[in-house]
Structures are given as C-alpha cells and as structure tokens.
C-alpha cells in the first residue's frame, strides 16, 4: 500500500475587526500564534500560524492591510494587501453571525469578487450567539451580491463548533506539497525559512532524481529594493560540480525555470513583487562540516 502524499498550502484569513479571526486561529494552532506574531517581519503579509498533522500542513497568512480602516491606507497598500489573496490556496472570509452585514464586510466582499481560481470560504462565526432558526437568514444575507462561496461553514471559534470539520475540508482541497515547517519548529525568521523551502521544492521537482535531497538553499539576503519590490538573494548549495550543471541546465534554462516558479510562490507568500537572484554553489561534503554551514548562513540565528 502506498502512503497518501503529504499535502500543504496557504490559507488567508480575512474579515473585519472583531469577527473572531484571532480566536479561530488560536483554536487551530494554539499558543504558537503568539510566538510567531511577536517576531518582526519585514513583509506586508505574515505567517500567523501553522497547523500540522501527520499528512498535511496549512500555513495561515495574515494580510494586515485589509483589516485596517480604508481611510488610513493609501490605495497602494490596499491593493497590495488584496494582491496577496490571489495566490492563496484558500481564503477564509470570517463574518460575525451576531451582527448584520455591514460596510466593512461589503468592502471585503467587493474585492473578493475579483478573485478567480481560489476557493473562498464563508465562515459564519459566533453561531453560539444565534438562534438556530436565524442561521439561514444570516447565510442568505451573505449570498446576495457576493462571490460564489466554495463552502459555507457556520462555526463557533470560541466553543470550537465545526472547526475540525472546517480544517478537514480545507485540507481535502489542498494539493500535494512539502512540509514547510517541522511540527514544532518555530523560527525567528519564518519567512526566510519558507522561502528557502519553496526554492528547494522547485529544485527537487524540476530536477527529479538527478539531484539528491541533500541540496540546501540558503537565503543570503532579503532587502526591500523599493516600495513595491523585495530583493532576495539565495544560494543553492550542492556537493558536486555535476549537480551544479544539472541545476543550471543548458544555457541556464533550468535555473531560470526554478527561479520563475519559486518567485511566484514567494510573491504570494509575501504579498509583494519579488526580484529573486539565485546562485548555485558547490560545497563538497558541506553537511559534514559545521563551519561550512555557518558560512552558508545556517547559523543558529536562522532557526
Ligand atoms: N460568542 C462568541 N464570541 C466570539 C467567538 N469568536 C470570537 N469571539 C469574541 O469576539 C471578540 C473578538 O474576537 P477576536 O478573535 O479578537 O476578533 P478578530 O477578528 O481577531 O479581531 P481583530 O484582531 O480586531 O481583527 C472577542 O471578544 C472574542 O472572545 C465565538 O465563536 N463566539
């Protein structure tokens, strides 16, 4: 019997203030959230929590720009926050069952209408405050002038009602993918770590059996080049010149393809345009030499 492939993906949670987004995330990933969100992150989007099981991993992305009142934001910020939604594997739009649909909801709904090819879930939270007979009316009020919801889940983040069903549902819709984080690994630089894994994933996918899993990716530098662009320098580290040649490919075609695919994923993670520069380095037996790891950037700082 073959094992089912590991699945992973990114879920963006949005909703106006106070609808219960943090409560929901806390229920799903517990104390990890606090630890993650304390860390300074340089990007507009941030990893807010990670849910890991034996067979799947869901990375929850927060897009802070969306939750802020519209008038304190430039058009640009709003646009870039929403641009992050386009690449998510799923979007959870959370509303408060105890309040009528309001302007804040409409603002988000209007932007959600522009999103194609992404499953958008409508989560009706705080159903514990609602008489069961009113639920259908609440759902109906979010079906008018709205995108077609992939799923509608009445939940209570506080009581936990229907939350595990929601998680099972979202995991079922994810594609095969790598485990970006160890189940209990928390890092000072979550985005750095995930960027490395996204690049490594593309190397392994595209070179198939030709390059061993020992390939490492080190993020040398992340800097903001301009208001709208992040510059990332990454090294792909292999042990033999033959592996380097495979990764570079004929006239650089392979490394170009790796870079393009990785850049798209990184852009959706960060919610910004990215300029990705990749170098391939040969470091014989790098795994056996602790100093090599340090020069390569695998210092304790990065974990
Ligand atoms: N009754 C009830 N209250 C809830 C539920 N989920 C959240 N709340 C309460 O709603 C309030 C707001 O919850 P938060 O999780 O902070 O909401 P949020 O959407 O993260 O708010 P912002 O951080 O302002 O965006 C808190 O007082 C929660 O206890 C629920 O399922 N039922």
**pLDDT single digits (tens) 87-136:** 688 999 999 999 999 988 998 898 899 888 899 999 999 999 999 999 99
On whether ipTM exceeds 0.95, the answer is yes
Gyration radius of the chain over CA positions:
21
Q: Which residues are annotated as a binding site for GTP?
A: 15-22, 62-66, 125-128
Pocket test for ligand 1, best of 13, 15, 22, 67 (most atoms within 8 A of CB): 22
* Protein residue whose Cα sits closest to atom 25 of ligand 1: 17
Output the CA–CA distances (angstroms, integers) from residue 137 to 15, 56, 94, 167, 259, in the order listed: 19, 35, 16, 25, 48
Pocket test for ligand 1, best of 158, 161, 162, 163 (most atoms within 8 A of CB): 158
β-strands 90-96, 119-125: how paired? parallel
User: Going residue by residue through the chain (303 aa), what tens digit of pLDDT does each one get?
Assistant: 567 789 988 898 888 888 988 889 888 876 544 444 444 444 555 666 788 888 998 988 776 656 554 444 445 555 555 666 766 889 999 999 999 999 889 988 988 998 888 999 999 999 999 999 999 999 999 999 999 999 999 999 999 999 999 999 999 999 988 777 766 554 445 677 778 878 988 898 898 777 766 688 888 888 877 777 889 999 999 888 999 999 999 999 999 999 999 999 888 777 788 999 999 998 876 655 545 544 444 433 332
28 lines ligand 1 (CB under 6 A): no
**Pair 151, 123: CB distance under 8 Å:** no
- CA dihedral angle for residue 161, residue 167, residue 173, residue 177, rounded to 10 degrees: 180
203, exposed or middle or buried, with CB in 10 Å at 0-12, 13-18, 19+? buried
DSSP secondary structure code for residue 174 in this structure: P
DSSP secondary structure code for residue 274 in this structure: E
Measure 216 CA to ligand 1 centroid, in angstroms. Answer: 41
Which domains are present in the chain? 7-172 (3.40.50.300), 190-302 (3.30.300.20)
Cα 19–184–217 angle (5° rounding)?
105
């Amino acid at each position: 019997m073959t094992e089912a492939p590991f699945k992973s993906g990114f879920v963006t949670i949005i909703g106006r203030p106070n609808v219960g987004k943090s409560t929901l995330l806390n229920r799903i990933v517990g104390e990890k959230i606090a630890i993650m969100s304390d860390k300074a992150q340089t990007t507009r989007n941030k990893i807010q929590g990670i849910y890991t099981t034996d067979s799947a991993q869901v990375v929850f992305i927060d897009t802070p720009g969306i939750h802020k009142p519209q008038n304190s934001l430039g058009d640009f910020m709003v646009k870039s926050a929403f641009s992050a939604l386009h690449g998510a594997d799923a979007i959870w739009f959370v509303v408060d069952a105890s309040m009528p649909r309001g302007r804040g909801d409409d603002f988000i709904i209007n932007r959600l209408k522009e999103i194609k090819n992404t499953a958008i879930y409508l989560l009706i939270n705080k159903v514990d405050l609602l008489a069961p007979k009113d639920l259908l009316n609440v759902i109906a009020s979010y079906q008018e002038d709205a995108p077609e919801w992939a799923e509608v889940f009445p939940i209570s983040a506080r009581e936990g009602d229907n939350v595990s069903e929601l998680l099972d549902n979202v995991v079922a819709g994810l594609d095969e993918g790598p485990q970006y984080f160890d189940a209990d690994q928390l890092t000072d630089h979550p985005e750095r770590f995930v960027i490395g894994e996204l690049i490594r994933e593309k190397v392994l996918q595209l070179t198939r059996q030709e390059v061993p899993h020992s390939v490492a990716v080190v993020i040398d530098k992340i800097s903001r080049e301009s208001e709208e662009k992040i510059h990332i320098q990454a090294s792909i580290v292999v042990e033999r010149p033959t592996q380097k040649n495979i990764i570079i490919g004929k006239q650089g075609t392979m490394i170009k393809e790796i870079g393009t695919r990785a850049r798209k994923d990184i852009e959706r993670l960060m919610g910004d345009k990215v300029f990705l520069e990749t170098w391939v380095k040969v470091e014989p037996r790098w795994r056996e030499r602790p100093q090599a790891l340090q020069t390569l950037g695998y210092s304790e700082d990065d974990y």
